[in-house]
């Protein structure tokens, strides 16, 4: 990552942490988030692949790091599951980058969305077990 991009990410995260980025998520982003969430629940690898950026990375609740190819291979072996409701969901951002946080099934999920020429794509997901 270039020094400029690194600085931009640091500034974005700092503004996010201070609450200075609070623009409401665009409607097309909300729709895309919902479509991708349904693809995960249904183990729909075709839709998941389409809505996931090529540079996607995941760190799951065990600390395992996965690339898009690794997560896609895992998704293809999964069975559909019941949708788990999102609690305490927050979407913050501005322009072409938004971050969503929510609690689901005892886990905190944070995902980063970027508007690309083809539309909104998730670029990173971090899952952490919630304290009880």
Domain ranges across the chain: 24-129
Strand order in the sheet with 107-116: 65-67, 52-59, 119-129, 107-116, 97-104, 87-94
The pLDDT value recorded for residue 121 is 98
Architecture of domain 24-129: Roll (3.10)
pLDDT recorded at residue 82: 84
Under 8 Å between Cβ of 107 and 88: no
Q: Are 20 and 107 in contact (CB under 8 A)?
A: no
Instruction: Determine the pLDDT at residue 29.
Output: 97
Could you give the percent of the chain with pLDDT greater than 70? 83
Partners of 9 in the β-ladder: none
Model pLDDT for residues 18-36, shown as the tens digit of each residue = 444 556 888 999 999 999 9
Q: What was the pLDDT predicted at 23?
A: 65
Mean pLDDT by 10 residues, the chain (132 residues): 48 47 81 96 96 98 97 94 90 95 95 97 97 81
pLDDT at 6: 44
DSSP annotation string for the chain: --HHHHHHHHHHHHHHHHT---PPPPHHHHHHHHHHHHHHHHT-HHHHHHTEEEEEEEE-TT--EEEHHHHHHHHHHPPP-PPPPPEEEEEEEETTEEEEEEEETTEEEEEEEEEETTEEEEEEEEEEEPP-
**Stated pTM of the model:** 0.80
pLDDT of residue 40: 94
Write down the pLDDT at residue 81: 87
């Amino acid at each position: 990552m270039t020094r400029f991009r690194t600085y931009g990410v640091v500034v974005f995260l700092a503004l996010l942490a201070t609450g200075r980025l609070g623009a409401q998520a665009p409607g097309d982003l909300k729709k895309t988030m919902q479509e991708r969430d349904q693809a995960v629940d249904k183990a729909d690898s075709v839709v998941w692949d389409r809505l996931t950026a090529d540079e996607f990375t995941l760190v799951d609740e065990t600390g395992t790091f996965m690339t898009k190819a690794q997560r896609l291979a895992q998704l293809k072996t999964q069975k559909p599951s019941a949708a788990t409701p999102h609690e305490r969901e927050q979407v913050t951002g501005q322009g072409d980058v938004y971050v969503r946080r929510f609690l689901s099934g005892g886990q905190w999920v944070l995902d980063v969305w970027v508007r690309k020429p083809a539309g909104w794509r998730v670029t990173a997901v971090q899952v952490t077990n919630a304290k009880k």
